[in-house]
Amino acid sequence: MDISFLLALEGKVPTSVSKLLGLEQRHPWCASCCDFPDEETEAKRQLKVTCPEAPERLRSQLSHPASAQVGKDSFGNDYIENLKQNDISTEFAYQTQDAATGTASIIVNNEGQNIIIIVAGANLLLNTEDLREAAKAISRAKVMICQLEITPETSLEALTIAHNSGVKTVFNPAPAIANLDPRFYTLSDVFCCNETEAEILTGLTVSSPADAGKAAQVLLERGCKVVIVTLGAEGCVMLSQTEPVPKHIPTEKVKAVDTTGAGDSFVGALAFYLAYYPNLSLEEMLKRANFIAAVSVQAAGTQSSYPYKKDLPLDLF
Protein backbone atom coordinates (compact mmCIF):
# COMPACT_ATOMS: atom_id res chain seq x y z
CA MET A 1 0.00 0.00 0.00
CA ASP A 2 1.44 3.34 -0.98
CA ILE A 3 1.53 6.44 1.16
CA SER A 4 -1.90 7.98 0.81
CA PHE A 5 -3.45 11.41 0.71
CA LEU A 6 -6.97 12.64 0.12
CA LEU A 7 -8.61 12.77 -3.27
CA ALA A 8 -11.43 15.06 -4.29
CA LEU A 9 -12.87 14.40 -7.75
CA GLU A 10 -14.44 17.38 -9.46
CA GLY A 11 -14.80 18.44 -13.05
CA LYS A 12 -13.00 15.91 -15.24
CA VAL A 13 -10.56 13.54 -13.63
CA PRO A 14 -8.19 10.88 -14.88
CA THR A 15 -10.35 7.87 -15.82
CA SER A 16 -10.01 5.16 -13.18
CA VAL A 17 -7.85 7.50 -11.17
CA SER A 18 -6.44 5.47 -8.36
CA LYS A 19 -3.56 7.36 -6.89
CA LEU A 20 -3.30 11.00 -6.21
CA LEU A 21 0.35 11.75 -6.78
CA GLY A 22 3.80 10.35 -6.93
CA LEU A 23 6.74 9.12 -8.93
CA GLU A 24 8.17 5.64 -8.67
CA GLN A 25 11.73 5.63 -7.45
CA ARG A 26 13.61 2.38 -7.98
CA HIS A 27 16.70 3.71 -6.17
CA PRO A 28 16.01 5.39 -2.83
CA TRP A 29 18.93 7.75 -3.36
CA CYS A 30 17.88 8.84 -6.85
CA ALA A 31 15.14 11.38 -7.55
CA SER A 32 14.66 10.44 -11.17
CA CYS A 33 12.67 7.47 -12.47
CA CYS A 34 14.82 4.50 -13.36
CA ASP A 35 14.75 0.72 -13.48
CA PHE A 36 17.01 -1.98 -12.15
CA PRO A 37 18.27 -4.33 -14.86
CA ASP A 38 16.46 -7.65 -15.21
CA GLU A 39 19.29 -9.45 -13.40
CA GLU A 40 18.97 -7.17 -10.38
CA THR A 41 19.11 -10.05 -7.86
CA GLU A 42 19.35 -13.82 -7.92
CA ALA A 43 15.70 -14.04 -6.96
CA LYS A 44 14.91 -11.35 -9.54
CA ARG A 45 12.92 -9.47 -6.93
CA GLN A 46 12.01 -5.89 -7.56
CA LEU A 47 12.82 -3.31 -4.91
CA LYS A 48 11.03 0.00 -5.23
CA VAL A 49 10.60 3.13 -3.22
CA THR A 50 7.20 4.42 -4.19
CA CYS A 51 5.80 7.84 -3.53
CA PRO A 52 2.30 8.65 -2.31
CA GLU A 53 -0.82 8.08 -4.33
CA ALA A 54 0.34 8.22 -7.92
CA PRO A 55 -2.22 9.36 -10.53
CA GLU A 56 -3.58 6.99 -13.15
CA ARG A 57 -1.76 7.72 -16.35
CA LEU A 58 -4.89 9.24 -17.83
CA ARG A 59 -4.82 12.98 -18.22
CA SER A 60 -7.61 15.39 -17.32
CA GLN A 61 -8.53 18.76 -18.76
CA LEU A 62 -9.65 20.30 -15.49
CA SER A 63 -7.87 20.24 -12.17
CA HIS A 64 -9.07 18.51 -9.01
CA PRO A 65 -7.53 19.56 -5.71
CA ALA A 66 -5.30 17.43 -3.56
CA SER A 67 -4.87 18.07 0.12
CA ALA A 68 -1.40 16.75 0.84
CA GLN A 69 1.77 17.26 2.87
CA VAL A 70 5.21 16.43 1.49
CA GLY A 71 8.73 17.26 2.57
CA LYS A 72 10.86 20.11 1.31
CA ASP A 73 13.21 17.66 -0.39
CA SER A 74 13.83 16.18 -3.83
CA PHE A 75 11.00 13.66 -3.50
CA GLY A 76 8.60 16.39 -2.40
CA ASN A 77 9.65 18.65 -5.26
CA ASP A 78 9.10 15.81 -7.70
CA TYR A 79 5.65 15.08 -6.25
CA ILE A 80 4.53 18.68 -6.59
CA GLU A 81 5.83 18.84 -10.14
CA ASN A 82 4.11 15.56 -10.96
CA LEU A 83 0.80 16.95 -9.76
CA LYS A 84 1.22 19.98 -11.99
CA GLN A 85 2.17 17.84 -14.98
CA ASN A 86 -1.05 15.88 -14.48
CA ASP A 87 -3.18 19.03 -14.28
CA ILE A 88 -3.94 18.53 -10.59
CA SER A 89 -4.26 21.65 -8.50
CA THR A 90 -1.47 22.10 -5.94
CA GLU A 91 -3.25 24.86 -4.05
CA PHE A 92 -3.56 22.65 -0.98
CA ALA A 93 -0.41 20.56 -1.41
CA TYR A 94 1.98 21.74 1.29
CA GLN A 95 5.72 21.27 1.71
CA THR A 96 7.28 21.15 5.16
CA GLN A 97 10.82 21.27 6.52
CA ASP A 98 9.75 19.38 9.64
CA ALA A 99 9.73 15.90 8.05
CA ALA A 100 10.92 14.09 4.97
CA THR A 101 8.49 13.11 2.23
CA GLY A 102 6.74 9.83 2.95
CA THR A 103 8.04 6.79 1.10
CA ALA A 104 7.41 3.07 0.90
CA SER A 105 9.95 0.33 0.18
CA ILE A 106 8.31 -2.47 -1.77
CA ILE A 107 9.64 -5.94 -2.54
CA VAL A 108 7.82 -7.91 -5.23
CA ASN A 109 8.34 -11.67 -5.66
CA ASN A 110 8.16 -13.78 -8.81
CA GLU A 111 4.41 -14.25 -8.38
CA GLY A 112 3.83 -10.50 -8.30
CA GLN A 113 2.97 -10.40 -4.58
CA ASN A 114 4.48 -7.66 -2.48
CA ILE A 115 5.82 -6.81 0.96
CA ILE A 116 5.84 -3.14 1.89
CA ILE A 117 7.55 -1.05 4.55
CA ILE A 118 6.11 2.43 4.98
CA VAL A 119 7.87 5.50 6.35
CA ALA A 120 5.03 8.00 6.62
CA GLY A 121 7.15 11.10 7.15
CA ALA A 122 5.38 14.31 6.19
CA ASN A 123 2.10 12.47 5.63
CA LEU A 124 1.49 12.55 9.38
CA LEU A 125 1.80 16.33 9.44
CA LEU A 126 -1.24 16.96 7.28
CA ASN A 127 -3.75 18.17 9.87
CA THR A 128 -7.34 19.24 10.33
CA GLU A 129 -6.45 22.91 9.92
CA ASP A 130 -5.03 22.13 6.48
CA LEU A 131 -8.31 20.43 5.58
CA ARG A 132 -10.43 23.31 6.77
CA GLU A 133 -8.52 25.55 4.37
CA ALA A 134 -9.53 23.15 1.61
CA ALA A 135 -13.13 22.81 2.80
CA LYS A 136 -14.64 24.81 -0.08
CA ALA A 137 -12.83 22.69 -2.64
CA ILE A 138 -13.92 19.50 -0.88
CA SER A 139 -17.53 20.68 -0.81
CA ARG A 140 -17.48 21.12 -4.62
CA ALA A 141 -16.24 17.59 -5.26
CA LYS A 142 -18.35 14.75 -6.58
CA VAL A 143 -16.44 12.02 -4.76
CA MET A 144 -13.72 12.02 -2.13
CA ILE A 145 -11.41 9.15 -1.18
CA CYS A 146 -9.74 8.85 2.20
CA GLN A 147 -7.28 6.30 3.59
CA LEU A 148 -5.33 5.87 6.84
CA GLU A 149 -1.86 6.70 5.59
CA ILE A 150 -2.34 10.12 7.09
CA THR A 151 -3.50 10.41 10.70
CA PRO A 152 -6.97 8.96 11.40
CA GLU A 153 -8.04 12.30 12.87
CA THR A 154 -7.27 14.07 9.60
CA SER A 155 -9.06 11.50 7.47
CA LEU A 156 -12.05 11.66 9.81
CA GLU A 157 -12.17 15.44 9.48
CA ALA A 158 -12.08 15.13 5.68
CA LEU A 159 -14.90 12.61 5.69
CA THR A 160 -16.92 14.84 7.98
CA ILE A 161 -16.48 17.90 5.74
CA ALA A 162 -17.41 15.92 2.65
CA HIS A 163 -20.36 14.16 4.30
CA ASN A 164 -21.79 17.43 5.62
CA SER A 165 -21.49 18.92 2.13
CA GLY A 166 -23.32 16.05 0.45
CA VAL A 167 -20.17 14.77 -1.26
CA LYS A 168 -20.05 11.01 -1.85
CA THR A 169 -17.33 9.50 0.34
CA VAL A 170 -15.18 6.43 -0.29
CA PHE A 171 -13.11 5.17 2.62
CA ASN A 172 -10.29 2.67 2.24
CA PRO A 173 -9.07 1.70 5.76
CA ALA A 174 -5.49 1.10 4.77
CA PRO A 175 -3.41 0.37 6.68
CA ALA A 176 -6.14 -1.02 8.91
CA ILE A 177 -6.29 -0.48 12.67
CA ALA A 178 -8.35 -2.75 14.91
CA ASN A 179 -9.82 0.03 17.06
CA LEU A 180 -11.12 2.15 14.18
CA ASP A 181 -13.24 5.10 15.28
CA PRO A 182 -16.91 4.10 14.77
CA ARG A 183 -17.56 7.33 12.87
CA PHE A 184 -15.54 6.05 9.93
CA TYR A 185 -18.27 3.50 9.26
CA THR A 186 -21.18 5.93 9.40
CA LEU A 187 -19.46 8.72 7.44
CA SER A 188 -18.48 6.45 4.53
CA ASP A 189 -20.88 6.04 1.64
CA VAL A 190 -18.63 3.26 0.38
CA PHE A 191 -16.37 1.33 2.77
CA CYS A 192 -13.82 -0.61 0.73
CA CYS A 193 -11.16 -2.85 2.26
CA ASN A 194 -9.11 -5.85 1.19
CA GLU A 195 -9.20 -9.25 2.87
CA THR A 196 -6.34 -8.51 5.27
CA GLU A 197 -7.90 -5.23 6.37
CA ALA A 198 -11.27 -6.96 6.81
CA GLU A 199 -9.63 -9.52 9.09
CA ILE A 200 -8.03 -6.82 11.24
CA LEU A 201 -11.27 -4.85 11.49
CA THR A 202 -13.56 -7.79 12.27
CA GLY A 203 -11.32 -10.46 13.82
CA LEU A 204 -12.67 -12.97 11.30
CA THR A 205 -10.55 -15.06 8.95
CA VAL A 206 -11.08 -14.05 5.33
CA SER A 207 -9.77 -16.60 2.86
CA SER A 208 -12.70 -16.99 0.45
CA PRO A 209 -15.61 -15.01 -1.00
CA ALA A 210 -17.90 -16.63 1.58
CA ASP A 211 -15.62 -15.46 4.40
CA ALA A 212 -15.54 -11.98 2.86
CA GLY A 213 -19.33 -11.89 2.88
CA LYS A 214 -19.42 -12.68 6.59
CA ALA A 215 -16.86 -9.95 7.34
CA ALA A 216 -18.79 -7.50 5.18
CA GLN A 217 -21.94 -8.20 7.17
CA VAL A 218 -20.12 -7.34 10.40
CA LEU A 219 -18.95 -4.05 8.88
CA LEU A 220 -22.42 -3.30 7.55
CA GLU A 221 -23.83 -3.72 11.05
CA ARG A 222 -21.44 -1.00 12.23
CA GLY A 223 -23.26 1.56 10.10
CA CYS A 224 -21.73 1.31 6.63
CA LYS A 225 -24.03 1.98 3.69
CA VAL A 226 -22.03 -0.10 1.21
CA VAL A 227 -19.22 -2.54 2.02
CA ILE A 228 -16.81 -3.92 -0.56
CA VAL A 229 -14.14 -6.47 0.31
CA THR A 230 -11.54 -6.91 -2.42
CA LEU A 231 -9.98 -10.33 -2.85
CA GLY A 232 -7.21 -9.84 -5.39
CA ALA A 233 -7.42 -12.52 -8.08
CA GLU A 234 -10.82 -13.59 -6.71
CA GLY A 235 -12.41 -10.21 -7.46
CA CYS A 236 -14.53 -8.69 -4.70
CA VAL A 237 -17.62 -9.13 -2.56
CA MET A 238 -20.27 -6.42 -2.24
CA LEU A 239 -22.96 -5.82 0.36
CA SER A 240 -25.21 -2.85 1.08
CA GLN A 241 -28.05 -1.71 3.29
CA THR A 242 -30.41 -2.04 0.32
CA GLU A 243 -28.92 -5.37 -0.84
CA PRO A 244 -27.88 -7.09 2.42
CA VAL A 245 -27.06 -10.46 0.82
CA PRO A 246 -23.33 -10.72 -0.05
CA LYS A 247 -22.62 -10.93 -3.77
CA HIS A 248 -19.34 -12.16 -5.24
CA ILE A 249 -18.09 -10.21 -8.27
CA PRO A 250 -15.35 -12.33 -9.88
CA THR A 251 -12.61 -10.95 -12.10
CA GLU A 252 -10.78 -12.39 -15.05
CA LYS A 253 -7.69 -14.47 -14.36
CA VAL A 254 -4.44 -12.84 -15.47
CA LYS A 255 -0.74 -13.42 -14.98
CA ALA A 256 0.28 -10.97 -12.25
CA VAL A 257 3.62 -9.25 -12.69
CA ASP A 258 3.29 -6.80 -9.80
CA THR A 259 0.23 -6.44 -7.57
CA THR A 260 1.50 -3.24 -5.94
CA GLY A 261 -1.15 -0.54 -6.21
CA ALA A 262 -3.89 -2.86 -7.51
CA GLY A 263 -6.17 -1.96 -4.62
CA ASP A 264 -5.64 1.74 -5.25
CA SER A 265 -6.38 1.16 -8.93
CA PHE A 266 -9.63 -0.56 -7.98
CA VAL A 267 -10.69 2.16 -5.54
CA GLY A 268 -9.80 4.94 -7.97
CA ALA A 269 -11.69 3.30 -10.81
CA LEU A 270 -14.71 2.86 -8.57
CA ALA A 271 -14.54 6.54 -7.58
CA PHE A 272 -14.42 7.52 -11.24
CA TYR A 273 -17.58 5.56 -12.02
CA LEU A 274 -19.35 6.91 -8.95
CA ALA A 275 -18.55 10.44 -10.09
CA TYR A 276 -19.21 10.19 -13.84
CA TYR A 277 -21.41 7.16 -14.36
CA PRO A 278 -23.68 7.33 -11.29
CA ASN A 279 -26.52 5.62 -13.12
CA LEU A 280 -24.55 2.40 -13.47
CA SER A 281 -25.45 -0.31 -11.00
CA LEU A 282 -22.90 -0.84 -8.24
CA GLU A 283 -22.30 -4.35 -9.55
CA GLU A 284 -21.41 -3.00 -12.99
CA MET A 285 -19.08 -0.41 -11.47
CA LEU A 286 -17.29 -3.14 -9.55
CA LYS A 287 -16.95 -5.33 -12.65
CA ARG A 288 -15.26 -2.45 -14.45
CA ALA A 289 -13.08 -1.59 -11.47
CA ASN A 290 -12.05 -5.26 -11.28
CA PHE A 291 -11.06 -5.17 -14.94
CA ILE A 292 -8.94 -2.04 -14.58
CA ALA A 293 -7.21 -3.40 -11.48
CA ALA A 294 -6.48 -6.61 -13.41
CA VAL A 295 -4.86 -4.56 -16.17
CA SER A 296 -2.65 -2.80 -13.63
CA VAL A 297 -1.17 -5.99 -12.15
CA GLN A 298 0.09 -7.12 -15.55
CA ALA A 299 2.82 -4.47 -15.59
CA ALA A 300 5.58 -3.61 -13.13
CA GLY A 301 5.36 -0.60 -10.87
CA THR A 302 2.51 1.41 -9.49
CA GLN A 303 1.96 4.60 -11.48
CA SER A 304 3.67 3.04 -14.50
CA SER A 305 1.25 0.10 -14.44
CA TYR A 306 -1.90 2.16 -14.83
CA PRO A 307 -3.42 2.25 -18.32
CA TYR A 308 -4.29 5.21 -20.47
CA LYS A 309 -7.94 5.53 -21.41
CA LYS A 310 -7.02 4.98 -25.05
CA ASP A 311 -5.59 1.57 -24.10
CA LEU A 312 -8.78 0.39 -22.40
CA PRO A 313 -11.85 -1.12 -24.11
CA LEU A 314 -14.38 1.45 -25.25
CA ASP A 315 -17.20 -0.40 -23.51
CA LEU A 316 -15.74 0.66 -20.14
CA PHE A 317 -16.86 4.20 -20.96
Catalytic residues: 264
* Burial (CB count <10 Å: 0-12, 13-18, 19+), residue 309: middle
Judged on CB neighbours under 10 Å (0-12, 13-18, 19+), 260 is: buried
What span, in angstroms and rounded, lies between the C-alpha atoms of 303 and 134?
A: 25
Which 8-state DSSP code applies to residue 32?
S
Identify the three-state secondary structure at position 67: strand
- Whether residue 79 contacts residue 23, with contact meaning beta carbons closer than 8 Å, is answered with yes
C-alpha pair distances (Å), 38 with each of 45, 49, 260, 282: 9, 17, 18, 41
Backbone torsions φ then ψ of 82, nearest 5 degrees: -65, -40
Q: Cα(238)–Cα(6) distance, rounded to whole angstroms?
A: 23
Which distant-in-sequence residues (6+ apart) come within 8 Å of 118 by Cβ? 1, 3, 102, 103, 104, 149, 175
DSSP bridge partners of 251? none
Strand order in the sheet with 103-108: 24-25, 46-50, 103-108, 114-119
**Distance, CA of 311 to CA of 186 (rounded, Å):** 37
**Amino acid letter for position 178:** A
CA distance 244 to 213: 10
Distance from C-alpha of 270 to C-alpha of 261, rounded to nearest angstrom: 14
